[in-house]
Amino acid sequence: MVKVVIDLRMVRGPLHGIARYALELARRIPPLEPGWQFVGLVGPDGVPDDLGELAPRIPLVRCSAEFLSPLEQPALAAALLKQRPELFHATSFSVPALWPGPLVATLHDANHLALNESRSRTRTAYYQLVVGPRARRAKALVTVSEFSRGEVSRHLSIAPERLQVIANGVDASFRVPPESELEDFRARRGLPARYFGAIGSIKPHKNLGVLQTIAASLPAPLVLLAGRGARRALGFDESIIELSPLPDADLVRFYAGAVGVLVPSYYEGFGLPALEAMACGGPVVAADAGAHPEVVGAAGLLVPAHDPQAWKIAAQRLFRDDDLRASLSAAGVARAARFSWDDCAQKTLQVYRRALGMS
């Protein structure tokens, strides 16, 4: 029986895009190949207990060291030697340097090498000494957009044809909710009837600071979804509404209830928040950078990432033009329907089969 270990060690705390990617694969690939054995590799504390439908249904084994900790590599090698899989899928940029077995690696982007604000001596050395050499010896490499294929190829000296692009998906739970749900959500969260949603984090490349100087002059209140304390860390006025991380059901309502969803990140390997917002009918304004043009296309407004006035003008257009909002909402739903986690899982399984010499 073929045994595949899927890396879930990055699943900890509030979900980010790479963690969601790993969890979606771990729940969708095993039913496609019931004759194989699938195991999830988790950190020493396991996975959070509030994952809901994303909670892994495959057996889980623990690695004795945290993801990207000083002892990660020997602990990862020990875990894989004990499991003896036919294939290990490294679903993030942490790859096993000390385990020589068959590897499929997903490299989502190269931001730690491409961006000065994300670069450090330690991270640069890790990519140059571990990620690059091990990736070049992998059975197969996956990335999530044409943008990332170019970035990974350039910064890690990997031939672009070695990287197969398999786009992320969006779950069916991200959908246009009824108005009654939106009214309930606004009431529970203390939100006004009309607001702009801004999503990201305090990381510099998420670029939420571009909204700081224009937030007070927007035609509707700005609601910030960027983690606890982000408002103060990013220098926003106390009048800006800040939400704590939301469960998926309320995230859907946050997107759908917004006059516009602002996604100013200037470096995204894929841009899952923009896709999820479109699936919910939220009109999207995104930076014209990274993979956003690939994902959003003509179904949203793309504006220069670092131009506050461009963001203000786009927000004003959405606020004043009902037809534009309706048009972008419908176009976003239609475009998001082209991105499926089931399709992602099926294509990834084909990568496994080719890596094992089965097709």
Record the tokens describing residue 133, joined without a space.
């050499």
Please list the residues that pair with 291 across neighbouring strands.
none
Q: 357's torsion region: left (phi>0), alpha (psi -120 to 50) or beta?
A: left
Contact 185, 253 (CB under 8 A): yes
Phi, psi of 51 (to 5 degrees): -80, -15
pLDDT at 275: 98
Beta strands 284-287 and 260-263, pairing class? parallel
Domain annotation for the chain: domains and CATH numbers: 3-169+340-355 (3.40.50.2000), 179-336 (3.40.50.2000)
Q: Which of 279, 285, 325 is nearest to 307 (CA)?
A: 285
CA torsion angle for 193, 198, 201, 204 (degrees, to 10)?
-150
Query: Residue 129 CB: number of other CB atoms within 10 A?
Result: 11
Q: Which DSSP symbol is given to 287? A: E
pLDDT at 13: 81
Name which of 310, 298, 300 is nearest 276 in CA terms.
300
Paired tokens of 155? 């910064």
Cα 42 off chain centre by: 19
Q: How far apart are CA 184 and CA 10, in angstroms?
A: 33
73 and 97 Cβ atoms separated by less than 8 Å: yes
Residue 315, H or E segment? helix 308-320
Q: Token digits for 142?
A: 């996956």
Q: What is the mean pLDDT of each run of 10 residues along the chain (359 residues)?
A: 97 90 98 98 94 94 92 96 98 95 97 88 89 96 98 96 98 96 96 97 95 95 93 92 93 98 97 97 98 98 98 98 98 98 98 94
Q: DSSP for 89-138, please give it.
A: EE-SS---SS--S-EEEE----HHHH-TTT--HHHHHHIIIIIHHHHHTS
Instruction: Return the pLDDT at 5.
Output: 98
Q: What is residue 243's three-state secondary structure?
A: strand
* Phi, psi values for residue 285, rounded to 5°: -115, 120
DSSP strand pairing (284-287 vs 301-303): parallel
Residue type, 107: L
Q: With beta carbons less than 8 A apart as the criterion, state whether 108 and 90 touch.
A: no
Reported as type and span, the H/E element at residue 191 is none
Q: Return the closest-CA partner of residue 288 out of 276, 273, 300.
A: 300
Calculate the alpha carbon distances from 154 to 14, 103, 113, 157, 174 in Å. 31, 21, 10, 5, 34
* Alpha-carbon gap, residue 239 to 196, rounded angstroms: 14
